[in-house]
């Protein structure tokens, strides 16, 4: 994940130095991602790239995969003695 060159504020983010909320912005400069506080001047290069894994849903899985995951169940009524 690479941020845009245009600084963008991150809603709900808290500065690790001054604890100001909603004052951090992220941007990309010279191929490196940074976060910066506009209140106290804190600036840090982002080294950790998040591992994004898409949650499996019926929209992003094939029909064959869904069929393989289906299970047949037998519904029993209370009157059945089997």
Contact 31, 5 (CB under 8 A): no
Residue 66 DSSP label: H
Q: Regarding beta strands 32-37 and 43-45, do their DSSP bridges make them parallel or antiparallel, or are they unpaired?
A: antiparallel
Q: What is the pLDDT of residues 9-28, one digit of tens each?
A: 999 999 999 999 999 999 99
> 0.85 exceeded by the pTM?
no
Pick from 30, 6, 9, 29: nearest CA to 20: 9
Pick from 50, 7, 1: nearest CA to 29: 7
Dihedral pair phi/psi, residue 68, rounded to 5°: -65, -25
Q: What is the pLDDT of residues 38-65, one digit of tens each?
A: 999 999 998 766 677 778 777 777 777 7
């Amino acid at each position: 994940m690479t941020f845009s060159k245009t600084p963008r504020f991150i809603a709900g983010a808290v500065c690790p130095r001054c604890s100001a909320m909603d004052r951090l912005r992220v941007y990309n400069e010279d191929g490196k991602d940074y976060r910066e506080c506009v209140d106290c001047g804190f600036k840090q290069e982002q080294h950790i790239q998040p591992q994004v894994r898409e949650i499996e849903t019926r929209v992003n899985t094939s029909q064959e995969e869904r069929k393989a995951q289906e299970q047949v169940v037998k519904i029993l009524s209370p009157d059945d003695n089997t």
